[in-house]
Structure 1
Amino acid sequence: MIDHRFFLEDKRSLKLLVLGNKEVSGDPNDPNYIRERVSQAAQVPGAEVFFMNQEHGTTIIEAQGSPGSEIPTGDSLFTTEPKKILVVKTADCMPIFFWTGRPALVGVIHSGWKGTIAGITEKTLAHVQKKYGVDPELVHFYLGPYATGKHYEVGEDVASLFRKEVPNSLKPLEEPGKFLLEQKTFLTHRIRNLGIQPFLETAGACTMAPNSKYFSHRRGDTGRNLNCIWLE
């Protein structure tokens, strides 16, 4: 489990919580289980839990008010309201947490290789900049557990898409047409191309590593890590 608190410029704080295979045992497709497990782990009185039907796309959703009975479809969640717990499910894809204190805003992105190539992170930054005047230079990023370049193997079909922009995000393997992909390298390049020098931290955890504490689809796990962030 990852459990961090970060302080914003206006002295408010946010919490970042990642529940892995030791903390999550129920059905990851059951909305009631997700809400109950996250509420129990977060211990935030009066909190409301928001999550999405994820589709590896670029749809951005703002969490406001109370979550409705219908779960929205998207891959990026953000809010400016306190005690709104935003949740992204992952099992190898990158959970990209982000926040800023001017104005106070937090979010989390589900970014598999398709979302990374499609620019879900850059589009989210553009969206919050346009709506709330967020300065991208003041946005902090934190990468939760994902399949890192030490273990994440892809074929030429995927490798060719990343090679066009960032050749050094790939490491060739001995088997022809096989590569290890490091999406963090690609993501950092994309953000810097916006003229931003990102404040980017990482959990340093690979979901595909031996004895990982986090679910991995590539290893055959059916569970999902719950990546949570909220303004306190």
Structure 2
Amino acid sequence: MKDVVITLPAFATVRDGVRHFFGTRNQPDRLETDAGVTVVAVKQVHGTDALIVDRPLRTDETFDGAWDALITDQPGVLVTVRTADCVPVLLHDPQRGVVAAVHAGWRGAVAGIVLKTLEAMKRRFGSEPSSVRVGIGPAAGPCCYEVDEPVLARLRASFRGWRSVVLECGRDKAMLDLRELVRQQARSVGVEEGRIHSVNVCTICHPDLFFSYRREGVVNGTMVSGIVLLRRQARA
């Protein structure tokens, strides 16, 4: 049977009061959820804004606008993002009872969307980066993800350690490791290495498991990834 979703038990489990998943192309078109779970999905625009959900939701509630990160402290609110080569990043602060889902393409990653999401979690809920767990999902890997000078110029301008996440392969071209960029950014603000877990699988290399804009040249589909608090967690 083909994989429908991928999980990272080292990142979060039901015993932690959390359920999470990274989707594959074999997910059903309609996301099935448990009774009492409300799915939040929003328009994504490769930006760095985060939607904060800090109140109970109606099951039919929608949000006008565009965000590439969603944060909540509400049990039963499943925050989701869609990707097809970009990096899905899931965050969990077990101390404050907060979760987040982040859509990090190269634009968002270079602009610091993961850093800004961690900042928003701290500002609104008091989450310290040292308490946050990070799950990094399947994405275009450094084996296949070639970028050109416009991307490299923005990376060089925003990330001091840019050389550690690229392999130069020609004039003004390089292979970019988006997952490693996200990992290093998280570590730079205090997320502990042992709390960062990654699915080291390239979406471009595995057409049986993933849609890929780079491989297919069009958006034939996207994968849904998400995280939900199953119960309210005590805050320190």
TM class by shorter chain equals 0.7 to 0.9
Asked if 1:65 is matched to 2:63, the reply is no
In the aligned structure 1, how far is the partner of 2:147 from the partner of 2:114? 21
In the aligned structure 2, how far is the partner of 1:4 from the partner of 1:188? 15
Task: Provide the residue aligned with 1:123 in structure 2.
Answer: 116
Alpha carbons 1:162, 1:169 under 8 Å: kept: no
Tell me the alpha carbon deviations over residues 33-70 of structure 1, each in whole angstroms, 9 at most, x when there is no partner.
Answer: xxxx22x2x3x112111011001111111223226244
Aligned letter for 2:205?
A
Could you tell me which of 223, 226, 232 is aligned with 2:224?
226
Task: Provide the residue aligned with 2:17 in structure 1.
Answer: 13
Q: Unaligned 5+ residue runs, structure 1?
A: 27-36
Quote the offset at 1:212 in angstroms: 4.4
Could you tell me which of 195, 202, 205 is aligned with 2:201?
205
Task: Provide the residue aligned with 2:174 in structure 1.
Answer: 179
Could you tell me which of 54, 64, 79 is aligned with 1:86?
79
Could you tell me which of 188, 191, 194 is aligned with 2:186?
191
Aligned letter for 1:21?
R
* Alpha-carbon spacing, 1:130–1:70, altered in 2? closer, same or farther (3 Å): closer
Partner of 2:48: helix, strand, or coil?
A: coil
Could you tell me which of 145, 148, 156 is aligned with 2:141?
148
Segments of 4+ moved more than 6 angstroms: none
In the aligned structure 2, how far is the partner of 1:97 from the partner of 1:186? 15
Identity %: 25
Q: How many residues align?
A: 215
Aligned letter for 1:222?
N
Aligned letter for 1:182?
D
Task: Provide the residue aligned with 1:33 in structure 2.
Answer: none
In the aligned structure 2, how far is the partner of 1:193 from the partner of 1:209? 29
Partner of 1:218: helix, strand, or coil?
A: helix
What's the RMSD between the two structures over aligned residues?
Answer: 2.0
Alpha carbons 2:89, 2:137 under 8 Å: kept: yes
Partner of 1:61: helix, strand, or coil?
A: strand
Alpha carbons 1:4, 1:15 under 8 Å: kept: no
In the aligned structure 2, how far is the partner of 1:186 from the partner of 1:121? 10
Alpha carbons 1:206, 1:212 under 8 Å: kept: no
Quote the offset at 1:3 in angstroms: 3.8
In the aligned structure 1, how far is the partner of 2:126 from the partner of 2:8? 26
In the aligned structure 2, how far is the partner of 1:196 from the partner of 1:18? 21
Aligned letter for 2:89?
I
Alpha carbons 2:98, 2:125 under 8 Å: kept: no
Aligned letter for 2:111?
A
Alpha carbons 2:133, 2:191 under 8 Å: kept: no
* Alpha-carbon spacing, 1:161–1:146, altered in 2? closer, same or farther (3 Å): same
Quote the offset at 1:163 in angstroms: 3.7
